[in-house]
Structure 1
Amino acid sequence: MVTEISAQFVKELRTMTGAGMMDCKKALQETDGNIDKAIEHLRQKGLASASKKSGRRTAEGLIESYIHAGSKIGVMVELNCETDFVARRIEFQELAKNIAMQIAACPQVEYIDIKSIPLSIIDQEKAIESAKDDICNKPADVQVQIIKGRVEKRLNELSLMNQSFIRNTDITIEDLINEKISLMGENIKISRFVRFLLGEGIERNEQNFSEEVANMIKS
């Protein structure tokens, strides 16, 4: 006998998970109206929306590192989830490795997402684009649209979440993470990352060969 589920109960589950109405109704019927079990049922089927998990606390996870061939580029990234159980899953560990490799492959990326980019950087990009010669003779409204488009493109270049995934360019890093959220049923977030370039920030000795020989003779 199929358990009768009220529309209000279905709506409540939909609000909590973001899953479709029929999926929520079916989940409640299969769990005899137990909302906690219904949520778990939807998670297992990957039907709970990633957006509904975005505010949940992520205190577990791992720190992943990647050293590129030649050992001249290195990356460390902290990827967080809700439980240690998910942190130990091979899918989560593979996600962390892929993100670390993505960061190494995208030298222009400096921030996790667009909302992390400081306003001062955005204003700086606007000023740079406004001063370019190729738009100075265009109508003001056209200039505004061109500047807006160019700044948006630049912000996308700076944002890790907006990058096309190097192993599947049909999706972004944000899409990839949302896929794993649906698969594993937990909120997943990139907390921070750092990229190391060999010799970065160190003043190099640019002395040419002739100067080197001359110094050797003098000594």
Structure 2
Amino acid sequence: MAEITASLVKELREKTGAGMMDCKRALGETEGNLEEAVDWLRKKGLAAAAKKAGRVAAEGLVAVATAATAGSVVEVNSETDFVARNDRFQAFATHAAELALTTGGDVEALKQAQFPGTGRTVGDELTNLVATIGENMNLRRAARLSVADGVVASYVHSALAPSLGKIGVLVALESTGDKERLEQLGRQIAMHIAAARPDALDIADVDSSALDRERNVLAEQARASGKPEEIISKMVEGRLRKYYEEVVLLEQTFVIDGENKVRKVVETVAKEIGAPVAVKGFVRFTLGEGIEKDEGDFAAEVAAVRGS
């Protein structure tokens, strides 16, 4: 009998969408044979999940949850936007975000958490939804931010329901100052992040490889002007400042007023409330980003069905 390893259980879960305990049981019943275990799960009523597990799920919802000094965001995918409007799917995404306040950004830990009122884990509840609703679904990712003192504010763009939409943003502000004013500032910065799509919090946080690539491009552009190398160096540094204003949150022009840098806005609020304010981090989830969607020819599919 083949050894039933954690990696084998994980592979079966990814292949079928079934719960961990069901996968372990299936592998035990089939002496570790992966394909037979898939069939075993299908015979036990998980056929719907198993059949749909290979479909691309790039629609769905981004959900956020906040609780004083902590906030979480999750992405739950489905095959169609129609399912994102289903009450049960929305309830699942909402509960998953709330549970992520405790489990953090570890998706596997989140899947093992108990789903409220069901006696099932989050992963098993998702499998149950797949079988019930009839589409492949995936709890893709999660993130959590927290501060010792201050607020974690959130913003959801294109909201279908409270805290559920297509873009979800968290912003962590650390300060001993007035929490209501911090919450207001945090939400405004979160709205800015949704629109401006920064890559880094501060200049020091810019990815070194991306910075090197940008510097090389700018240097080649400057050399094309025929200027001396010492002038080229100054040109590159000047253009890099523009680059930082595009990708660094604190260097970007605040979309709310269109004039001041985000850094200046934070400093101004700090003076208002009489306490330092530090932006400790941010998270921006856009639904389906990075998922390779199937752009099949619908007309060709219809013709194929008619001809079959």
TM-score bracket relative to the smaller structure: 0.5 to 0.7
Task: Name the CA distance, whole Å, in 1 between partners of 2:218 and 2:168.
Answer: 32
Number of residue equivalences = 157
Task: Name the CA distance, whole Å, in 2 between partners of 1:156 and 1:163.
Answer: 5
Q: Is 1:195 aligned to residue 289 of structure 2?
A: no
Give the aligned residue type for 1:93: E
**Deviations 1:57-104, CA, capped at 9 Å, x for gaps:** x730121111113532221111111x3xx353x211101111111101
Task: Name the CA distance, whole Å, in 2 between partners of 1:163 and 1:64.
Answer: 19
Matched-pair identity in %: 32
Seen in structure 2, the aligned counterparts of structure 1 residues 133 and 173 have a Cα distance that, compared at 3 Å, is closer
Partner of 1:7: none
- Give the TM-score normalised by the residue count of structure 2: 0.47
Partner of 2:224: 135
- Give the TM-score normalised by the residue count of structure 1: 0.64
Q: Is 1:104 aligned to residue 194 of structure 2?
A: yes
Q: CA deviation at 1:128?
A: 1.9
Task: Name the CA distance, whole Å, in 1 between partners of 2:200 and 2:222.
Answer: 29
CA RMSD of aligned residues (A): 2.2
Q: Is 1:176 aligned to residue 270 of structure 2?
A: no
State the secondary structure of the residue aligned to 2:259.
Answer: strand
Which of structures 1 and 2 has the larger relative contact order (alpha carbons within 8 angstroms, sep 6+)?
1
Q: CA deviation at 1:218?
A: 4.4
Partner residue of 2:215 out of 126, 129, 138? 126
Partner of 2:169: 75
Structure 1 residues 6-45: aligned runs within 5 Å: none
Higher-Rg member (1/2): 1
CA contact (8 A) 1:111 1:159 kept: yes
Q: Is 1:146 aligned to residue 146 of structure 2?
A: no
Moved over 6 A (4+): none
CA contact (8 A) 2:223 2:232 kept: no
Seen in structure 2, the aligned counterparts of structure 1 residues 133 and 142 have a Cα distance that, compared at 3 Å, is closer
CA contact (8 A) 1:113 1:162 kept: yes
Q: CA deviation at 1:114?
A: 1.2
CA contact (8 A) 1:102 1:165 kept: yes
State the secondary structure of the residue aligned to 1:171.
Answer: coil
State the secondary structure of the residue aligned to 2:184.
Answer: helix
